[in-house]
Amino acid sequence: MDALPQTQLGSPAFIRQHYLSRSIKLYMIGVIIVGLFVSYYGIEKYLEYSDKTTIVSESEKELVSLNQTNKIEGDAYTKVQTDYKDSDESMLKELALVFPSQENYTELTKIFDAYFLENNRTNNPIIATDMQFGTPIADKSGKYNILPISMNITASEANFYKFLSYVQDSGTLSKKLRLLDLKSVQMNFAEDDTGPAGANKNKIQFRAEIQAYFQKDKL
């Protein structure tokens, strides 16, 4: 290739073209550098954003999990409270039957009537008469009240002992029976000459003195 004449190398047109070409190269280099920087910065910010998005997502999942756990625990706590309340109310009702806040003459009469009706049989009798309620009195300890009860009872030997056990086992929440105490028994024996042959049995006639208990503050 032929060399340019010296006059062209130093001409203004050549100089302008030279500087323009150099400027274009520098601009392209600058664009490439800026592009690389932007790309690097963009990738870095994207990764940072991705990490933050992941953290937020995991946090949201953890929050949902905690909310579900709290709901489950809250439901369990509510159930325990409900069960405890139901159990407490049930126990209070049972206690009211066993150890009431007042004398409850009518309920006592129903209790004894139901017992004698259930256990009285032709060959195994138990019959109560002349049931009387005394005046309520305070126990010597001052912690509760006593309602005196007396009655005449005619019973077979088996039902005599069954009645004693009935009074002795009273006061338990499981049986829901009013708390009673047998204070004294005055008895005599009478020969039973009635009934079919071979069915005659000794009957026990006795007067039972019983105490029924109720709460002190209602006297």
Q: Decide if pLDDT at 39 tops 90.
A: no
Determine, yes or no, domain membership for 153: yes
Q: What is the mean pLDDT of residues 180-199?
A: 70
Determine, yes or no, domain membership for 100: no
- On whether both 117 and 212 belong to a single domain, the answer is yes
- On whether both 87 and 118 belong to a single domain, the answer is no
Q: What's the pTM?
A: 0.57
- On whether both 162 and 211 belong to a single domain, the answer is yes
Summarised one tens digit per residue, pLDDT across range 3-14 is: 555 555 556 665
Determine, yes or no, domain membership for 1: no
Which pLDDT score is estimated for 117? Answer: 97
We report the CATH number of the domain holding residue 203 as: 3.30.70.60
- On whether both 210 and 127 belong to a single domain, the answer is yes
> Could you please report the per-residue DSSP string of 22-36?
HHHHHHHHHHHHHHH
Which pLDDT score is estimated for 93? Answer: 83
Q: Report the chain's mean pLDDT, rounded to a whole number.
A: 77
Select the more confidently predicted residue: 156 or 6: 156
Please say which residue of 63, 95, 127 terminates a domain.
Answer: 95
- On whether both 46 and 72 belong to a single domain, the answer is yes
Summarised one tens digit per residue, pLDDT across range 192-206 is: 555 554 444 578 999
Determine, yes or no, domain membership for 135: yes
- On whether both 73 and 162 belong to a single domain, the answer is no
Interacting residues of 177 by C-beta distance below 8 A, sequence separation 6+: 97, 98, 111, 169, 170, 171
Which pLDDT score is estimated for 63? Answer: 67
Determine, yes or no, domain membership for 63: yes
- On whether both 90 and 110 belong to a single domain, the answer is no
- On whether both 73 and 156 belong to a single domain, the answer is no
Q: Decide if pLDDT at 159 tops 80.
A: yes
- On whether both 64 and 134 belong to a single domain, the answer is no
- On whether both 213 and 112 belong to a single domain, the answer is yes
User: H/E element holding 213?
Assistant: strand 202-215
- Which domain covers residue 85, as residue numbers? 7-95
By CB atoms closer than 10 A (0-12, 13-18, 19+), residue 153 is buried
Select the more confidently predicted residue: 30 or 8: 30
- On whether both 147 and 197 belong to a single domain, the answer is yes
- Residue 140 CA to its chain's centroid (Å): 39
Q: Which two tokens stand for residue 178?
A: 């009013």
Please say which residue of 95, 114, 130 terminates a domain.
Answer: 95
Q: How far apart (Å, rounded) are the C-alpha atoms in residues 126 and 14?
A: 143
- 94 and 173 Cβ atoms separated by less than 8 Å: yes
- On whether both 111 and 50 belong to a single domain, the answer is no
Q: Which two tokens stand for residue 108?
A: 């006592």
Which pLDDT score is estimated for 91? Answer: 77
Ramachandran region, residue 195 (left: φ > 0; alpha: ψ -120 to 50; beta: rest): left
Q: Which two tokens stand for residue 175?
A: 């049986």
Beta-carbon neighbour count of residue 176 at 10 Å? 13
Determine, yes or no, domain membership for 90: yes
Summarised one tens digit per residue, pLDDT across range 58-117 is: 767 766 776 776 667 666 656 555 555 656 777 788 888 899 999 999 999 999 999 999
**pLDDT band for position 176 (cuts 50, 70, 90):** confident
Please say which residue of 69, 95, 121 terminates a domain.
Answer: 95
Number of domains the chain is built from: 2
Task: Using alpha carbons, list the distances in angstroms from residue 60 to 114, 159, 161.
Answer: 66, 74, 73
